[in-house]
Structure 1
Amino acid sequence: MGCYDCCIRCFGAVPYPSLVATLLCFAGMALFCGCGHEALTQTEFLVETYFARNAQDYVVLSSFIQYFQYVIYGLASFFFLYGILLLAEGFYATSAVKQTFGEFRSTSCGRCCSLTFIVVTYILAVIWLAVFAFTAIPVYFFFNMAQTCHNINILAEGSPLGQHGWICMDARQYGLLPWNAMPGKACGLTLASICRSSEFHLTYDLYIAAFAGAGVALLALVLYVVAATYNYAVLRFLGRKGLRW
């Protein structure tokens, strides 16, 4: 019976919303960082192979991809540590800790830490909302490219593909290359070869996965804010009523 009571207390001490948010954060960041890093590498390969003849035309894009990949490394480390901190704060705030250790009292320092986590997490959620929107841009580009590939396949059924050289995909209009880049666009047979390449389909899927990962991470941050706000209310106003989240 003593072991049973101990297990009940242990399970009761778990801040489940914070735990779920932590798991979502880890899963979302793993998708975003892992798939995003590989998608950027594949994008550089596609641009270098099909859309630019001169290395100077895509040197800015190459530098941006390299720097952003370093940012991804930092984001993965930061969110891993921050998720652990928020989970620890959830354990601290739960009233089950009070029930386990007796007359536990929240201190002013503890309440200040909880409020700090709320503010920081809210700011991170706003920033990550912008990252989530930014991640949709390459998905939109590859979606348009996939639609163009679909149109080429339909037209190719009725006539030789070489007659449809006017069907093009211009990387310059999406800001991937400067306007003086040559050729800057892929048309006809070149575009068809891109559509058939495994690199194109892999990159498209990777960007979709990175976009989904960013959405999951954003959901985790929102859940963090809700849970931390409730925990702060428990520590500040309802600490003696045994409420918990």
Structure 2
Amino acid sequence: MPATEPLNALVLIAEDETEIAEILAAYLGRSGLRTAHARDGREALALHLSLKPDLVLLDVLMPRLDGWKVLSEIRHRGQTPVIMLTAMDQDIDKLTGLRIGADDYVVKPFNPAEVVARVQVVLRRSRLVRGGAPAVLRAGAFEIDRENHEAAVIVDGRRHLLNLTATEFRLLACLAQAPRRVHSREELLASCLPEGDAQERTVDSHLSKLRRKLEACGVMGSPHSIRGVGYRLAAAE
């Protein structure tokens, strides 16, 4: 995947036709994108709130709550990119979506490869607007929302919200930005504990407490200590 695209970006597919959703998920998966599926409008809003996806593919005609109302609520919550999926190709429908705040509009029947291409374009564009940082930092099983100071881990399909101190959160976010790279204690100390005259062993203490909290959620051996060098995030698969 090009470096300009968010790694492991999560796309929420809000589509009541299971076959269409499965096809889209397969094509998106081949491009390195993660997906979640909502079968109706209310489920779409619930998953948008809990998963904080990087982009939503939103069908207009859905049970319980139509796409226009879902889009309106998503826009009320923030600026998650939304691409509308619909069988309605009238100009008034396109204008309605764009007026409410859709980022793009795809008419059924569509070529799934074209949808993937549009998703990639919108993700790149939204990433540039945010200054290059994804809304939610994802590394393996970890999801870190720096704006809302919230961290979670996905284990066996379940999302566990982590109860972290401010320092533990900063350390986890720092490691997750480059999960395969070894971060020295000096680097972590300067980046995450800049105040006061903290010692390098203080980093060890904070990371030890973070590791215990992760183990309680089923994530073992993370962060991983590299003897004599520092730490890296052994992201769970």
Q: Fold conserved (TM > 0.5)? A: no
Structure number with the bigger relative contact order (C-alpha 8 A, sep ≥ 6) is 1
Query: Greater share of helix residues, 1 or 2?
Result: 1
TM-score using structure 2 length:
0.23
TM-score using structure 1 length:
0.23
Structure with higher Rg: it is 1
